[in-house]
Amino acid sequence: MANDERLWALERFVGGVDELKTVLGVETAPVVEKAKQQLITAIAARDRGDRDASLAALAKAMADLATLGDRLGGAEGALMRAVTAAFIQGLARDDRDAVERNLSVIQSHAGTPKKKDAF
């Protein structure tokens, strides 16, 4: 996979995150907007070369978004928190297989099917 495809993964994610407001309801807008700003912060940190700050901002955003799974039921919320934790751990270890696997689960539960080589 080309490096530029990886470079734009966060940008694609930010571009689609607003769809959650439609899927989960307008009352989720504050959480979605907060997460979106954290993702933008993660992109800025990545672009500065600050991997630790980027991962921290991404982790906050993903944790906030995972709480929205509770709106779909307790089991779904627990699943999304567990998958999000595994996604973040994969990023921290630079474990591309774990990132891909968990991103696929996150996207399938969010209603956006994973594109081949999306990360």
| pLDDT for 111 beyond 70 | no
Q: Which two tokens stand for residue 44?
A: 């800025």
pLDDT in tens, 49-61: 998 899 899 889 9
Pick the residue with more confidence: 111 or 20? 20
Model confidence band, residue 8 (pLDDT cutoffs 50, 70, 90): low
Across the chain, mean pLDDT equals 80
Q: Is 40 exposed, middle or buried (0-12, 13-18, 19+ CB in 10 A)?
A: middle
Question: Tell me, what's the pLDDT at 32?
Answer: 92
Q: Please choose, from the candidates 100, 95, 118, 103, the residue with its C-alpha nearest in 3D space to the C-alpha of residue 66.
A: 103
- Report CA-CA distances (Å) from 89 to 31, 42, 73, 96, 113: 22, 16, 24, 11, 22
Share of the chain above pLDDT 90, in %: 21
Question: Tell me, what's the pLDDT at 48?
Answer: 95
Model confidence band, residue 47 (pLDDT cutoffs 50, 70, 90): very high
Tell me the whole-structure pTM to 2 decimals: 0.72
Question: Tell me, what's the pLDDT at 113?
Answer: 45
CA gap 84, 92 in Å, rounded: 12
